[in-house]
A and B are shown apart, each in its own frame.
Chain A
Amino acid sequence: MMDTLIPILVAAVAAGTPMVFAALGELVTEKSGVLNLGVEGMMLMGAVTGFAVASQTGNPWVGTLAGMVAGAAMALIFAVLTLNLMANQVASGLALTLFGVGLSAFLGKPYESVSLTVAPPPAIPLLAEIPVLGPLLFKYHVLVYVSWALFAVIAWFLYRSRAGLVLRSIGESPESAHAIGYPVIRIRYLATLFGGAMAGLGGAYLSEFYAPLWVEGMTAGRGWIALALVVFATWRPARVMIGAYLFGGVTIAQFFAQGAGIAIASQFLSSLPYLATIVVLVFISRNLATIRLNAPVSLAKSYRPD
């Protein structure tokens, strides 16, 4: 049993990590009251930029950084449109996704079918040898640990720091925050750019370390799943993590089912992660009180400070 379960869990974490990055970033953005539906587009731009820079420079970390910058640059477009020009956030976000899908496909043409050679993740000595816990905790790619650290920092920032309180108050009532003297637009800018950089990081992880190859549209809906996760997690970071790993877990489990020769149509199994995540999503967010408590009240509403 353990022999099957551990590889599934380990693979689930690796498969869930792109969504962890993107969803945590979007969570921070949404907590400031900005709904950016362009996650998929930002992830793709992060993926293509990260891959292209990594294959040009030969340094995956420069690529990762470039991927984050690309994601943030996409978010900047969105921020200018919605925060300065007061464009509708839902429409602008959708447009950003369409733009990102097209632009990344265009930019990525020369890199399709090109492969990156990436060193395997180094296992942490000694700790990785511990039975059960070793493979479960100490054998991941560096970026997986980065995602855990980011989770801790974001959870602390949002609920334990003064700056986080300000961010949340802006998401609840930008008018009040403005009246007290907080720079609503500037903070929303920062939150949006942070969300973009995180989506870019998720994309870069996908194309540079997880695949590691670039192909048009390679995020395959992961950005949308990340968006859904934020809602399903009722804007709580820990639940975002659970949701992302659940999606990763079902993705992997269906491969295991096939490999074990379980006679279920593989086409059905392929759709299972989306199905399972949506079902769980609906199930958990049934509770209206939880949603009301945690959803930023002014989400997706434009605010003009005057």
Chain B
Amino acid sequence: MKPSSQPSSRVTRWALGLAAGAVLAAGAALAQAPLKVGFVYVSPVGDAGWTYQHDQGRKEMEKALSGKVETKFVENVPEGADAERVIRELASSGNKLIFTTSFGYMNPTIKVAAQFPNSVFEHATGYKTAKNVGIYNARFYEGRYLCGVIAGKMTKSNVAGYVAAFPIPEVVQGINAFTQGMRSVNPKAELKVIWTNSWYDPGREREAANTLISQGADVVTHHTDSTAVVQAAEEKGKYAFGYHSDMSKYGAHAHLTATTHQWGAYYTKIAQEVIAGNWKPASVWGGLKDGMIKLAPLNSAVPKDVATLVAAKEKDIVAGKLHPFQGPVKDNSGKERVAAGKTMSDDEMQKMDFYVEGVQGSLPKK
């Protein structure tokens, strides 16, 4: 709009007044403008899985802070150069809070964050923080432990199966916690592990699950991204646990429960802090206690006494009375890893590179 050079006539003065009013109103609106929040997802949202749970968290935040936030997400962003471009694009288009939800986004996040000091970045599952970068992750292994307890009670063959993607500490934590839980109620039970060397390859995941089942496993679970393992168990009439999301719709009979990720409360809290201006970079590793993970509703096939036991164990974990890796913990070659009376530290857990007693085979070396 070109400014009027001659504000002499009455009409012009009136128009000017209106314009000033509009500017004031715009200013007020600016003050209350919703916080723009961007999300970067590694895979499509789909209807179950890692990214789906993050998107559920985004929706919960939007609902909790309705009117105060405006969210946007970019899905299926490969880890690497593309990620940096997407994160920068989100930052430069005015998103003041950006969640990057995959491990491989760590370096791009740090890099872009340095160029946008006035934006806040939150990176999931990484280990690098900065002045405006916080990190967050969940103690998935606590849920694995509880699933293990159910598996130990439900197995008839005393063999459980685990389809795993890559031998990194996070996956190994899950395998070991599951085994610890299982053997806490059934010391005879053992776990077989098959590595697929891929996060998402439904064909291989299903083949691996079928193999485990034909080798005697009657309870299977997975640390990969698809629902193939639950579906395979349903077909073969065996039991399974979901991961990431409640996968009960893929196995009405097979699905006993699932370790589900709950990001909504955390996302809401972070957004509130950013709006209030009191956000500080932190490294958050939350578990059952913080509501970052939750067990999906138990299948009716789980007997009442088992359900009660699981609830009690969950309570103990929340209260800090029970830790999946409290000593004595031996590895599967018989070496003592945690002495009696001690518990494994977070640091040790994040470097876990051995199978606990009860897991068959040996851990592939990277």
Name A residues whose Cβ lies closer than 8 Å to a Cβ of B: 4, 7, 11, 15, 109-110, 112-115, 117, 120, 206, 210-213, 215, 218, 220, 251-252, 255-256, 258-263, 265-267, 270
A270 touches B47 (CB 8 A): no
Indicate whether B169 reaches chain A with its CB closer than 8 angstroms. Answer: no
Q: A113-B48, A114-B46, A115-B47 are in contact. List 14 more A-B contacts (CB 8 A).
A: A4-B214, A7-B211, A113-B45, A113-B51, A113-B225, A115-B231, A120-B235, A255-B194, A256-B211, A256-B215, A259-B215, A265-B364, A266-B194, A266-B195
A109 touches B202 (CB 8 A): no
25 contacts between A and B (CB under 8 A): A15-B207, A112-B43, A112-B46, A113-B45, A113-B52, A113-B225, A113-B226, A115-B47, A115-B226, A210-B203, A211-B206, A213-B202, A213-B228, A215-B202, A215-B226, A220-B201, A255-B194, A256-B215, A258-B193, A258-B211, A259-B193, A259-B194, A261-B192, A266-B194, A267-B364
Interface digits, B149-176 against A, CB 8 Å rule (1 contact, 0 not)?
A: 0000000000001000000000000000
- Which of chain B's residues 66-121 have a Cβ closer than 8 Å to chain A? 76
Known interface pairs A213-B226, A213-B227; A113-B214 also in contact (CB < 8 Å): no
Indicate whether B343 reaches chain A with its CB closer than 8 angstroms. Answer: no
CB B196 to nearest CB in A, in angstroms, measures: 8
From the candidates A211, A260, A267, name the one contacting B203 in the complex (CB within 8 A). Answer: A211
Name B residues whose Cβ lies closer than 8 Å to a Cβ of A: 43-49, 51-52, 76, 161, 192-195, 197, 200-203, 206-208, 210-212, 214-215, 225-228, 231, 234-235, 249-250, 360-362, 364-365
A210 touches B161 (CB 8 A): no
Kindly report which residue of chain B lies nearest to residue A261, judged by CB atoms. Answer: B361
B-chain residues with CB within 8 Å of residue A206 when the two chains form the complex:
203
A255 touches B227 (CB 8 A): no
CB B258 to nearest CB in A, in angstroms, measures: 14
Complex alpha-carbon distance, A258 and B208, angstroms: 9
Complex alpha-carbon distance, A240 and B44, angstroms: 37
Q: Which of A115, A215, A261, A265 has the most CB of B within 10 A?
A: A115
B-chain residues with CB within 8 Å of residue A251 when the two chains form the complex:
207
B362 touches A263 (CB 8 A): yes
Kindly report which residue of chain A lies nearest to residue B237, judged by CB atoms. Answer: A120
Kindly report which residue of chain B lies nearest to residue A262, judged by CB atoms. Answer: B361
From the candidates A113, A252, A266, A267, name the one contacting B44 in the complex (CB within 8 A). Answer: A113
A-chain residues with CB within 8 Å of residue B234 when the two chains form the complex:
120
From the candidates A120, A259, A267, A270, name the one contacting B161 in the complex (CB within 8 A). Answer: A259
A112 touches B202 (CB 8 A): no
B-chain residues with CB within 8 Å of residue A252 when the two chains form the complex:
207, 211
From the candidates B45, B48, B193, name the one contacting A115 in the complex (CB within 8 A). Answer: B48
A11 touches B207 (CB 8 A): yes
A-chain residues with CB within 8 Å of residue B76 when the two chains form the complex:
109, 112
B194 touches A258 (CB 8 A): yes
Complex alpha-carbon distance, A218 and B212, angstroms: 22
Complex alpha-carbon distance, A220 and B207, angstroms: 14
A211 touches B235 (CB 8 A): no
Complex alpha-carbon distance, A62 and B365, angstroms: 46
Q: Which of B192, B193, B195, B225 has the most CB of A within 10 A?
A: B195
From the candidates A115, A210, A220, A259, name the one contacting B212 in the complex (CB within 8 A). Answer: A259
A112 touches B211 (CB 8 A): no
CB B179 to nearest CB in A, in angstroms, measures: 14
Complex alpha-carbon distance, A109 and B235, angstroms: 27
Complex alpha-carbon distance, A66 and B130, angstroms: 52
A-chain residues with CB within 8 Å of residue B47 when the two chains form the complex:
113-115
Q: Which of B49, B210, B365 has the most CB of A within 10 A?
A: B210
Complex alpha-carbon distance, A266 and B202, angstroms: 17
A211 touches B202 (CB 8 A): yes
Complex alpha-carbon distance, A215 and B46, angstroms: 11
A-chain residues with CB within 8 Å of residue B210 when the two chains form the complex:
7, 11
CB B101 to nearest CB in A, in angstroms, measures: 14
From the candidates A117, A120, A258, A267, name the one contacting B361 in the complex (CB within 8 A). Answer: A258
Complex alpha-carbon distance, A267 and B228, angstroms: 21
Complex alpha-carbon distance, A211 and B360, angstroms: 27
A11 touches B211 (CB 8 A): yes
CB B322 to nearest CB in A, in angstroms, measures: 30
B-chain residues with CB within 8 Å of residue A15 when the two chains form the complex:
207
Kindly report which residue of chain A lies nearest to residue B211, judged by CB atoms. Answer: A255
A-chain residues with CB within 8 Å of residue B201 when the two chains form the complex:
215, 218, 220
Complex alpha-carbon distance, A131 and B226, angstroms: 34
Kindly report which residue of chain A lies nearest to residue B200, judged by CB atoms. Answer: A215
B-chain residues with CB within 8 Å of residue A255 when the two chains form the complex:
194, 207-208, 211
Nearest first, the 4 A-B pairs at minimum CB distance are A113-B46, A7-B214, A261-B361, A213-B202
B211 touches A259 (CB 8 A): yes
From the candidates B200, B215, B226, name the one contacting A260 in the complex (CB within 8 A). Answer: B215
CB B346 to nearest CB in A, in angstroms, measures: 28
Complex alpha-carbon distance, A117 and B232, angstroms: 11
CB A257 to nearest CB in B, in angstroms, measures: 9
B-chain residues with CB within 8 Å of residue A256 when the two chains form the complex:
211, 215
Kindly report which residue of chain B lies nearest to residue A214, judged by CB atoms. Answer: B202
B360 touches A261 (CB 8 A): yes
From the candidates A7, A113, A218, name the one contacting B49 in the complex (CB within 8 A). Answer: A113
Kindly report which residue of chain B lies nearest to residue A18, judged by CB atoms. Answer: B203
Kindly report which residue of chain B lies nearest to residue A271, judged by CB atoms. Answer: B197
B-chain residues with CB within 8 Å of residue A270 when the two chains form the complex:
197
Complex alpha-carbon distance, A11 and B232, angstroms: 12
CB A20 to nearest CB in B, in angstroms, measures: 15
Complex alpha-carbon distance, A211 and B235, angstroms: 12
B203 touches A112 (CB 8 A): no
A-chain residues with CB within 8 Å of residue B52 when the two chains form the complex:
113
A-chain residues with CB within 8 Å of residue B200 when the two chains form the complex:
215
Complex alpha-carbon distance, A64 and B43, angstroms: 26
Known interface pairs A112-B44, A113-B52, A115-B48; A266-B364 also in contact (CB < 8 Å): yes
A-chain residues with CB within 8 Å of residue B211 when the two chains form the complex:
7, 11, 252, 255-256, 258-259
From the candidates B43, B193, B197, B226, name the one contacting A267 in the complex (CB within 8 A). Answer: B197
